[in-house]
Amino acid sequence: MEEITALAKRRGFIFQSSEIYGGIGGFFDYGPLGAILKRNVKDAWWREMVERRDDVVAFDSSIIMHPRTWEASGHVAAFHDKLVDCRNCKHRFRADHLPSLDKCPDCGMSGTLTEPRNFNLMMRTAIGPMEDTSSQAYLRPETAQGIFVNFKNIYQSARKKPPFGIAQIGKSFRNEITPGNFTYRVREFEQAELEFFVPQDGNDLGWFEQWVAARKQWYSDYGVRPDRLRFYELTPEERPFYAKAGIDVEYLFPWGWGELESIAHRGTYDLDRHIEYSGKDLQFFDEATKAKYTPILIESSAGMDRTTLTMLVDAYERETVADGEKQSERTVLRFHPKIAPVQAGVFPLARNKPDLVERARTIEAHLRTRFRTQYDEGNVGQLYRRQDEIGTPFCIMVDYETLGDATVTVRDRDSMRQDRVAEDALSTYLAERL
């Protein structure tokens, strides 16, 4: 993790937030490449979950919602973690992360941990100029509730009937007691949530299975190593009382397995609660049968920061390669081409030769209309090393031959093989491989 964190900073993927002021725990910024990487991850989710389906509609709700929302959802009463302090070293822990409450894992003293007490993870804020209780609100701890409270607006305006889904990607906030493991556990993060509403026709578990399969396919399509991914089935004791089935998608990070996503059969719990608390009728009215019912909900809730981190960790490799006569080491990010922030780097063989520079710039500008490209110049070995480190699948070198026969060298990131390709065939060559 240390190597990956260092690379993330050096190459402009992820920075600590407010670094010049000493940083702030649980918050991170995405640099020039990280911002693209995360956008690509979100686009990949959006493409498969919304754009390629005719039964899922898009949504985007506000971060701050009516405070009653969080009473109805159960977050005010129960969105707690158990907090434990060490009276000796003053360190703070999540009780469920400790192997035992007898001994502090940091200072090793026995009998110094306090009794676990509830700590609500919702971040509070105040609306308007008066900071009294009537203006108190929360930053949403999940995006899903915006979908539930709008259920009727959405299905009526989109003219959808179950089975259909509503998807959104957006920021969520949780006052985590112990943020850590880089961007794995943070206090501000993005979630991609799909709320899929199905009829009460006995096929709800079938839909759950279909979504689990669809999500498996997604991770596989975007190249996550199958041996580092598992779909952990929650036991009835681990599930909320209203949930009929639940799966945690977990990735094997350098520190162990960690949750990326939860897929859950949530019954009718969420809509029922909002019907109860708002007094509004959020049931679905089926025009065909003239019957009203509360649809059953299948949810997929994935963290986009955790998925982006997964892509980084999963792609990271350090290997020894033959470098002429000798062996040398290289660091390479083997990003899936759809995820890679830069898809093709274009360089002139020498930066002090105006003909080569101009030709390389022209090629790069042309390819840029179709691919994510980057022009760079300098020492050839260093250019390749840099592009390997940021995970660029192809590098294009413009040399003296190019000026004569209009061909370029294309180097493949993974095999390091070099092909000679005609300039006017470059676009097709890349499209086929990316």
Does the footprint of ligand ATP cover residue 208 (CB under 6 A)?
A: no
Residue 189 contacts ligand ATP per CB under 6 A: yes
Calculate ∠ Cα 371-372-378, nearest 5°. Answer: 120
- The total number of residues written for the chain in this structure: 434
Which range touches ligand ATP (CB under 6 A), out of 17-25, 63-71, 235-243, 302-310?
Answer: 302-310
Q: Closer CB to ligand ATP, residue 137 or residue 309?
A: 309
Does residue 314 touch ligand ATP according to CB under 6 A?
A: no
- Taking CB under 6 A as the criterion, the residue among 38, 75, 215, 306 binding ligand ATP is 306
For the beta carbon of residue 328, count every other beta carbon within 10 angstroms: 12
Q: How far is the CB of 306 from ligand ATP (least distance, A)?
A: 4
- What SS3 class is residue 324? coil
CB distance 135 to 127 below 8 Å: yes
195 interacts with ligand ATP by CB under 6 A: no
Chain-centroid distance of CA 84 in Å reads 30
Quick check: 75 binds ligand ATP (CB under 6 A)? no
In order, the DSSP letters of 137-148 are EEE-S-SHHHHH
Residue with tokens 């007691």: 177
Q: Which stretch binds ligand ATP (CB under 6 A): 254-262, 311-319, 367-375, 400-408?
A: 254-262
259 binds ligand ATP (CB under 6 A): yes
Residue 174 within binding range of ligand ATP, rule CB under 6 A: yes
Q: Are 248 and 262 in contact (CB under 8 A)?
A: yes
How many other CB atoms sit within 10 Å of the CB of residue 61?
18
> If binding is defined by CB under 6 A, does position 144 make contact with ligand ATP?
no
Which residues, including other chains, have CB under 8 Å from residue 343's CB and lie 6 or more apart? 337, 371, 372, 373, 392, 393, 394, 430, 434
Closest distance of CB 431 from ligand ATP, Å: 33
In the list 146, 162, 163, 303, the residue contacting ligand ATP (rule: CB under 6 A) is 303
Using CB under 6 A, which of the segments 63-71, 236-244, 300-308, 359-367 binds ligand ATP?
Answer: 300-308
Q: Which residue has the tokens 């003293």?
A: 109
Per CB under 6 A, 261 contacts ligand ATP: yes
Q: Which CB, 99 or 128, lies closer to ligand ATP?
A: 99
Spatial distance between the Cα atoms of 87 and 213, rounded to a whole number of angstroms: 48
Distance between CA 316 and CA 76 in Å, rounded?
40
Q: Rule CB under 6 A: is residue 262 a binding residue for ligand ATP?
A: yes
Q: Which residue is nearest to ligand ATP (CB)?
A: 303
Going by C-alpha positions, the residue among 226, 433, 411 that lies closest to residue 338 is 433
> CA torsion sign, 224 to 228 to 234 to 239?
negative
In the complex with ligand ATP, the residue whose CB is nearer, 179 or 295, is 179
Where would I find the H helices in 22-136?
A: 32-46, 68-72, 75-78
Identify the residue among 260, 313, 346, 363 touching ligand ATP (CB under 6 A).
260
CB of 28 to ligand ATP, least distance (A): 10
Question: Is the Cβ–Cβ distance between 191 and 143 less than 8 Å?
Answer: yes
Q: Which is nearer to ligand ATP, 50 or 260 (CB)?
A: 260
* DSSP-derived secondary structure for 99-115: S-SSB-TTT--BS-BPP
How far apart (Å, rounded) are the C-alpha atoms in residues 423 and 434?
17
Which of 311, 332 has the CB closer to ligand ATP? 311
Segment interacting with ligand ATP, rule: CB under 6 A, options 33-41, 238-246, 259-267, 274-282: 259-267
User: With contacts defined by CB under 6 A, how many residues of the chain interact with ligand ATP?
Assistant: 15
Of 104-112, 279-287, 301-309, 388-396, which part binds ligand ATP (CB under 6 A)?
Answer: 301-309
Nearer CB in complex with ligand ATP: 302/312? 302
Please report, as ranges, the residues that interact with ligand ATP according to CB under 6 A. Answer: 174, 176, 185-186, 189, 191, 259-262, 301-303, 305-306
